[in-house]
Structure 1
Amino acid sequence: MTQPKRQTTLACMSGGDWTDRENDAVVAAYFSMLGEELAGQSYNKAAHNRVLQEQTGRSRGSIEFKLCNVSAAVRCFAQPMINGYLPRYNFQSTLEDAVARWLAQHPQWEAGLARPQVTGMAEGHPLEMTVPPTLKNSPPPDETEKLQAVARRFDVAGRDERNRALGLSGEELVYHHERGQLLRHGRDDLARRVRWVSREDGDGAGYDIASFTPEGRDRLIEVKTTSGWERTPFHISRNELAVADARRDDWVLFRLYEFARTPKAFELRPPLEAHVALTATSFQARFG
């Protein structure tokens, strides 16, 4: 008698909106596969699908489609995506909530994304530099509005800003990149003078790395790092903006993205308003 009852229950669950329990199961499976992929370990997508069929009563095809929805959702959260599950953005807000729950329950995940990247750069491999999104001769992707809406709702820029391990790894990457660039131009003298200012002096300078052009001009570099895509929003402080304005010939914002895989980067120069929309997100309160 028990088995037919289970089959009836699963049949009822197999259609309609996904429940929170189902969303939590598919998101957990997704991050399990993603973690193995990022670690260079082999895994079996079909086996994960079969387990999810047992857990949810959904069909194989329905689960495959849902995993593509999860790809889109995690991209909204500035997370890397599994290769092969192309993002589909027609997902409900309950899936966003499931991703937010998983990340809240696994705080070590985002810090872990920052670990493996610096070794290769320290050996002199240059970063892949790309054109800033605002300078490309193509419109933003259709899904940009969805990505930005989720990023606002869950303060994705703030998540990146608070991820100190990610920020430090990004700065270290740029420090080695700058030294490597100068060495490749035969400027060993300048390479020795590159400073990781935020580590040596603290965060108050308005930039993280003090470097040079091959001709010897100052390069004051503020590093912003994300594991998300190139249009992921970021936080910038009033002090950083003030230094950018005062030293606009020398100051540069170095945007690192897709950090958890092969990091890419582009540079933005003042005035930043020519590239991004600046929105006040906090105010200082003082007693009169």
Structure 2
Amino acid sequence: MAGANSSGAHWSDQEIDLIVADYFAMLSMELAGQRFVKSHRNEALRRLVDRSHASIEFKHCNISAVLERLGLPTIQGYRPRANFQHALIEGVERYLGAAERPESLIEFDAGPSVRFADLPIMDAPPPHEDPNVSPPAALRRLLHRFDPAARDARNRKLGLEGEERAFHAERSRLALMGRDDLARKVRWVAREDGDGAGYDIHSYAPDGSERLLEVKTTLGHARTPFFLSSNELAFSQERPNEFRLLRIHDFARSPKAFELRSPLAAHVRLRPSVYQASF
């Protein structure tokens, strides 16, 4: 019978593979709005691994911590616990590496009720990590292989739905403030004119001043890193009074956002990631 093994004993690769797969199955169900009972899932897993109920719960929290670093959604109720072993990092890497497109493992359907709803604007998260402290080698490798910023940049569907959400939220905000005239003038520039303007949404403040929004969307948490093009950065410097970087996060579950104003370097650490080579 499972449960005889101590919670402090190292997990085998087979045990880790089983619990990681179970975690992703529950996460997919949760994001799809499907109900499941965690205790029942725990009991079923204990038939396969010789671990206690508490040990499995703790390991689920460790998996949440790894996915949080990857900028992925986590299961509600499994609060991230960061003291995970390298073997768990390798287990998550094996699971993600088995898919041709790892980002497709997190499926969701925003639907009209989500895309057209209001978008709560929260405070931007303050910096808290020491930039001189490097994560362990195994975690660095995982973050390099499944870079959250690169993943979100490849997910064009996610980007478009985030822009659409921002577009409707801006129009709704102005209408609620009695500025229907301005609401009608809000433009989804990236859709109507194409990329390259340095921003996605042309909106307004209630006094009629311009708000030029560059929208960055992620399924992950507020601190998930993102890509910023040289054109977007240059535009933020050319139009500092009007430019806003709108960071939408937790998009699959409960979308919310915060705004960053120019200079962006006052809010986030910027480092070059792509270089163009020419002759």
TM-score, length of structure 1 as denominator length: 0.84
Q: Which runs of 5+ in 1 are unaligned?
A: 1-6
Flag the 1:218–1:252 CA change in 2: closer, same or farther, 3 A: same
Aligned-partner Cα distance in 2 for 1:97–1:248:
43
Aligned-partner Cα distance in 2 for 1:261–1:248:
32
Q: Which runs of 5+ in 2 are unaligned?
A: none
Q: What one-letter code is carried by the residue in structure 2 that aligns with 1:119?
A: S
Aligned length: 271
- Partner of residue 224 from structure 1, selected from 216, 229, 235: 216
15-24 or 195-204, which deviates more: 15-24
Aligned-partner Cα distance in 2 for 1:75–1:228:
7
> What is aligned with 2:79?
86
Do structure 1's residue 140 and structure 2's residue 128 form an aligned pair?
A: yes
> What is aligned with 2:31?
38
> What is aligned with 2:174?
182
Do structure 1's residue 268 and structure 2's residue 260 form an aligned pair?
A: yes
Q: What one-letter code is carried by the residue in structure 1 that aligns with 2:176?
A: R
> What is aligned with 1:116?
110
Q: What one-letter code is carried by the residue in structure 2 that aligns with 1:28?
A: A
Do structure 1's residue 49 and structure 2's residue 45 form an aligned pair?
A: no
> What is aligned with 1:129?
121
**Cα distance, 1:219 vs structure 2:** 1.1
Do structure 1's residue 202 and structure 2's residue 194 form an aligned pair?
A: yes
Deviations 1:241-280 (A, max 9, x none): 0111111111110011111211111100000010111011
147-156 or 238-247, which deviates more: 147-156
Aligned-partner Cα distance in 1 for 2:171–2:189:
14
Matched-pair identity in %: 49
Moved over 6 A (4+): 10-15
- Confirm or deny: 8 A CA contact 1:183 1:191 kept in the other structure: yes
Flag the 1:274–1:14 CA change in 2: closer, same or farther, 3 A: closer
RMSD: 2.8
Flag the 1:98–1:188 CA change in 2: closer, same or farther, 3 A: same
Do structure 1's residue 284 and structure 2's residue 276 form an aligned pair?
A: yes
> What is aligned with 1:20?
13
SS in 1 for 2:259: strand
TM-score, length of structure 2 as denominator length: 0.87
Aligned-partner Cα distance in 2 for 1:101–1:189:
54
Aligned-partner Cα distance in 2 for 1:281–1:236:
10
**Cα distance, 1:118 vs structure 2:** 4.7
Aligned-partner Cα distance in 2 for 1:51–1:246:
58
Aligned-partner Cα distance in 2 for 1:118–1:91:
39
Aligned-partner Cα distance in 1 for 2:170–2:228:
22
Q: What one-letter code is carried by the residue in structure 1 that aligns with 2:110?
A: P
- Confirm or deny: 8 A CA contact 2:5 2:51 kept in the other structure: no
**Cα distance, 1:14 vs structure 2:** 8.3
**Cα distance, 1:121 vs structure 2:** 4.9
Tell me which protein shows more helix as a share of its residues.
1
**Cα distance, 1:119 vs structure 2:** 1.9
- Confirm or deny: 8 A CA contact 2:162 2:216 kept in the other structure: yes
Q: What one-letter code is carried by the residue in structure 2 that aligns with 1:248?
A: P
SS in 2 for 1:133: coil
